[in-house]
């Protein structure tokens, strides 16, 4: 699943590289699932999953590989909690955020093969599945 940086991250990086202001690295990056993928680089047009016990999945820097050729991928599997009480719906997109809820969208993309998450399922991105690039 390929994704790109969100407008928030693009602007922060640009301001950082020209010396305008420093960009503070997020302590934790959270992966979010979307039943309707965002359509805008600012996160608009999307519907984040919210059914049952859905929560964003936290990741650490060690969960990601080294950036190369303007892209980075997850180095470890990213597995969400199991849907326990209700179906979450069909996941069509993902995004990275700097907060467990709300926060700033850092990157986003479509899920190549949409996946229904029903009771007993756990959404999972295998290592290398999330590919974020600077466009």
To the nearest whole number, what is the mean pLDDT of the chain? 92
CA gap 92, 115 in Å, rounded: 7
Reply yes or no on whether the pLDDT at 70 is more than 90.
Answer: no
Which pLDDT score, from 0 to 100, does residue 33 have? Answer: 97
Q: What pLDDT, in 10s, does the model give residues 101-114? A: 999 999 999 999 99
Q: Which residues touch 17 (CB under 8 Å, ≥6 apart)?
A: none
Reply yes or no on whether the pLDDT at 80 is more than 70.
Answer: yes
CA gap 100, 87 in Å, rounded: 21
Q: Where are the alpha helices (DSSP H) in 18-135?
A: none
Which pLDDT score, from 0 to 100, does residue 10 have? Answer: 87
- Other Cβ atoms less than 10 A from the Cβ of 22: the count is 9
Phi first, then psi: give them for residue 15, nearest 5 degrees. Answer: -65, -35
CA angle 103, 108, 112 (to 5 degrees): 145
The residue written with tokens 């202001």 in the block is 21
pTM of the model: 0.92
Question: What three-state secondary structure class fits 62?
Answer: helix
């Amino acid at each position: 699943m390929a994704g790109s940086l969100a407008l928030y991250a693009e602007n922060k990086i640009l301001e950082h590289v020209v010396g305008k202001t420093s960009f503070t690295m997020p302590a934790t990056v959270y992966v979010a699932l979307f039943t309707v993928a965002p359509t805008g680089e600012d996160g608009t047009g999307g519907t984040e999953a919210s059914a049952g016990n859905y929560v964003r999945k936290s990741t650490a820097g060690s969960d990601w590989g080294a950036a190369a050729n303007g892209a980075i991928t997850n180095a470890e599997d990213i597995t969400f909690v199991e849907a326990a009480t209700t179906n979450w719906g069909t996941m069509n997109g993902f995004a990275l955020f700097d907060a467990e809820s709300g926060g700033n969208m850092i990157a986003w993309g479509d899920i190549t093969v949409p996946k229904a998450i029903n009771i007993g399922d756990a959404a999972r991105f295998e290592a290398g599945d999330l590919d974020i690039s600077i466009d």
